[in-house]
Structure 1
């Protein structure tokens, strides 16, 4: 056997590489846009800025030092000039792809950053690998505008893994549905009538507000928003507003809420404060054809019937009264149980059968008659 030449012995001492292989190289020189590495091969490896980072303005000398070790993927064994073309980004992506495959097989929850919002969904990056989440799988409710997710971290599971066809599909919807079910079950296992809860206004209608209690929504009817009268829920609440509510009733999946807290009940002392015969003052809150409702204090309205406004005939309350007017009246009826008070302005007027002294003539009728008879006799 002939002796090996020095070049042959050197080749034998160096490892062989192939395209697609993951290798670790030691940095031997760094320029702003290029890195040279020793990968234990007969030729050194070259890595450009774009193969190191997605930032095209990055100065490599600010992040890489001579002697650093970098994991790389072999793109080309020979670039035409005898150098090996390397990519750190592809190495990370290959490693991440293996992690995604494992996550797909084990149904592991992943977290990634949304790097691009497209018409059909979200492109999410996980350790250098791309996952696509279709718009239909972004949320458990329809979302027209996905731009709010740009730059946000989102959690998801991999439901399809086919890197050959560049199809790695993520699903966020099923995670949200599972979380909501867990919250739902926990809420109903703990919820009791009389509980005080903090929720968030989810939706407003003319008849009330739906409050998210964290697992289920409860209805806060307009009649339960306050001890006082509420004309429009949208003037009192806004979507996203945090509110404290009292659980009034739980019937199956339905939750009825109230903000009429017992300790704030303005009617608790009504029997004393508004006893029949008491003269009160209040503000005309609103009017109907049959009467006016007068606010005696916050949460307590009394009815002044049209027949009790004046001794004179009143066709309709607005002929005499107007909203916001302060009036004085007597309480003529009190029903604490049904929260009803009846008023009368007429009851404060002087009795019609009694005349004031100045209105009654002080005359001796018998004397006047005798005087008139004497005048007749003289004439004869």
Structure 2
């Protein structure tokens, strides 16, 4: 049975989504996942249980031409990793895929994606051109044998090869398999917004927040949801990827990435000390083949800064909704550290009752 998403529950979700309400509503963007769920029982380091995976985002799908996407990054709290970030800051673009996995698997994901790029792009294989994939992470060691490093090269390649347009799986899938969000089961979530003729799409790997902070579309519900609490303080991270087909210059895209901070803030997090809150934004507009970027003058189409407010709002709203979608798609997992607790899925009935209780309380205060 398909899980309900935020819009299915009648919550006060703002904005107009695209066809799939997913990052893949941005034309050309494809997503693939490899999910690893193996074994049960207590943690045996190196053997399991395994609750992890990898998510692959192809900004230009399986196009075998080296065409950059213009990009920007922002870290609200930098307790985490995103490879390729230095060139994105300096060059304002990147080539190839984006991968999201667990903290101890960044090296394998980068190694595998580099091999995939060598095989996929003729220019990387035959010319003097580097492969510099973007790989980001969040920590899944509470639910997964993270030090066993169970993600292998074939798993990463399967996610890359299997990337497709259309609906995106959410919850305990791909890199989000072992993640926890506001002390509920978190993971992969996505959403999109239409802005005139353009689309802004977001994908999150949500592994952050404590229950007391949780706010759902303007209603502070955390104090009304006291089941299966896990942590005394923040100990997670969130990666947000924002995509658009709107024409933007790199400095404008970097400003789009910053708006993801407002989006996660709407859900309640202040960006905790232990959280790696790292955001990547890219635009698929202005496709200039690599050979044309080697020398000479180039033309570039971009929006006026004065037209950006609707795009900023789209990034904020889609980020906020993607986090809730990730939680609603969850399922109960048993914790490994500490052992034997339940990382519960956010049940729609409990969420709706908490929203009603919070609104009644607020009305009584008025």
Instruction: Work out which structure has the larger RCO, using CA pairs closer than 8 Å and 6 or more positions apart in sequence.
Output: 2
Same fold by TM-score, threshold 0.5 exceeded? no
TM-score class normalised by the smaller sequence? under 0.3
Structure 1 or 2, whichever has the larger Rg, is: 1
Whichever structure has more helix as a proportion of its residues is 2
TM-score by length of 1: 0.17
TM-score by length of 2: 0.17
Whichever structure has more strand as a proportion of its residues is 1
